[in-house]
Amino acid sequence: MIKAIRGTRDILPPSSAVWNMVEARAREVFHSFNCHEIRTPIFESTELFARGVGEETDIVSKEMYTWDDRDGSSITLRPENTASVIRAYIEHRLDQIPGLKKLYYIGPMFRRERPQKGRYRQFAQIGAEFIGSDSPVIDAEVIEMVLEVLTRCGVESPHLIINSVGCKDCRPAFVQALKDRLQDVKAGMCADCQRRADSNALRVLDCKVPEDQNVVDSLPSILDHLCQPCAAHFETVKSLLEARGIDYELRSRLVRGLDYYTRTTFEVTHGALGAQNSILGGGRYDGLAESLGSRVPTPGIGFSIGEDRLVMAIEEHVDPASLARLDVFLVPMGDAALRHAALIARDLRRGGFTVELSADHKVKRAMEAASKARARFALILGDNELTAGVYALKDMATGEQRSLTREQLAPALK
């Protein structure tokens, strides 16, 4: 038997109904914030991610699915989507149009990392990018929007963590201070931190190895090295969150795993996910568009939700079968009734109802099937019903049965 490749999975009904619910509610929130969908290819030039994400990141150096195309060019399955969105933004000259662009996406990403709880080699992300403004007002709005998505999807008590990672003016001094300190302590840290201490010191702060945490906590803080504009920007973001009644934890060790982040960074965690409890991450990336070829200064901020982990956080509180609602199960008795039932099914489906048409003429078996399908109603059609033009509609929860004309069916089902 051929099975799904390790690190991938099939999402089957009724669980797929939870995914559909999450995506539908996310789209509702994005629409309410005047955010519009963008769909990018699932594979791109490898150079896009090397330049955009950073060659020294784990994503680029260890985790990407990359191959040579027939013309010799290097192609990569997208490991994240911000770089792709910015590439599309530049390619289609959206950077030439004044004003803020609010874009969102939903789709699969690919990373060859060790599969663990809620993490897969093919995984789904829900994300958004607000491009064209460096205002802290936009930072607060993006954070408010992502928390609204989580709340609307049923996440209870999401925990927001924020930080600032400075900018190109103030971060180099901090990175140098970090490197200097790491030279004294890196020998006692994990192999990854020893490597990063020289190649990408900022990533040491993101180390998850428990034995390294005391050392990480003793390292210099970026908040002590922010320049005046970055410090003022971050203070405004915090005050705007507080004005909205949004609670947050300030964590000076919070960095994102991608090189393009500047200033505001944030993460949301949830207790239902265990030790690896992050459900989303995001932040500002002023300068990314210019590094990818834009001639216009293009600040931006965004986030990506791990949809797999979001579903995991809410699924124990959601009955998938209740989301995959079947409105009515049609039970025709005989060939004439079957033909007539098909017309009724067509009209009800066009009216927005979910309808199942039984192919079994035996009423008992058909009603058992309706019960197993958790139909709200069963509609029974026989010769007498066809002659009278009145049908028997049974409420499957209460057992109550009433007679209705064809015109009365849709209002009764509503």
DSSP letter for each residue of 39-58 = ---SEEEHHHHIIIIITTSH
Q: Please tell me which of 1-10, 124-133, 259-268 the model is most confident about, judged by mean pLDDT.
A: 124-133
Tell whether the model's pLDDT for residue 408 goes beyond 90. Answer: no
Tell whether the model's pLDDT for residue 300 goes beyond 60. Answer: yes
Specify the amino acid at residue 66.
T
Question: Which tokens hold the place of 253?
Answer: 């060790």
Specify the amino acid at residue 76.
T
Kindly state the average pLDDT of the residues 60-71. 89
162 CB burial (10 A radius; 0-12, 13-18, 19+): buried
Residue in this structure with the two tokens 């690896």, named with its chain if needed: 276
Residue 156: band (very low, low, confident or very high) from pLDDT cuts 50, 70, 90: confident
From 65-79, 156-170, 280-294, 375-389, the region with the lowest mean pLDDT: 375-389
CB 238 within 8 A of CB 244: no
The whole-angstrom separation of Cα 19 and Cα 226 is: 41
From 3-17, 126-140, 185-199, the region with the lowest mean pLDDT: 185-199
Question: Which tokens hold the place of 386?
Answer: 């066809």
* Domains identified in the chain and CATH numbers: 15-170+226-317 (3.30.930.10), 325-413 (3.40.50.800)
Contacts 24+ apart (CB under 8 A), 106-110: 106/23, 106/26, 106/27, 106/37, 106/307, 107/39, 107/42, 107/81, 108/42, 109/77, 109/78, 109/79, 109/80, 109/81, 110/42, 110/64, 110/65, 110/77, 110/78, 110/79
Output the furthest CA–CA distance in the chain (Å, rounded). 92
Residue in this structure with the two tokens 């002590």, named with its chain if needed: 224
